[in-house]
Amino acid sequence: MGIVRFALRWPYTFYVLALLILFLGVTAFRSMPTDIFPEIDIPVVTIIWQYTGLSTPEMEQRVTTYSEYALSTSVNGIKDIEAQTLDASRSRRSIFSRMSISILQ
């Protein structure tokens, strides 16, 4: 009952304390750092195939098509597949969703 009697006897003390807490909260909120480009850890797997002697259309027909099909049918949680075929080399980047990586761990 001591705090109730104190509050009834000096009510302005609690008004000032409430305003002080409000002021410190707004000051802390305004001084928090904000980051426009936060660091994001996106799970990405890059696979590079190299075959000398194959032209770009042959590389795309023989390697790119089958490897993309095999990956998309056997691995779950793939969000996006990007493929780039150059002379005698092929690069594929698979971006996984965050949900699938957290399930695997």
Helix/strand/coil (H/E/C) assignment for every residue in 5-65: HHHHHCHHHHHHHHHHHHHHHHHHHHHCCCCCCCCCCCCEEEEEEECCCCCHHHHHHHHHH
46 close to 91: Cβ distance less than 8 angstroms:
yes
For the whole model, what pTM was predicted?
A: 0.45
Kindly give the confidence (pLDDT) of every residue in the chain, 105 residues in length, as a single tens digit, with 9 standing for 90 and above.
688 888 888 889 989 999 999 999 999 999 988 777 777 777 777 878 777 777 777 777 877 788 878 877 887 777 788 877 777 666 767 776 654 444 444
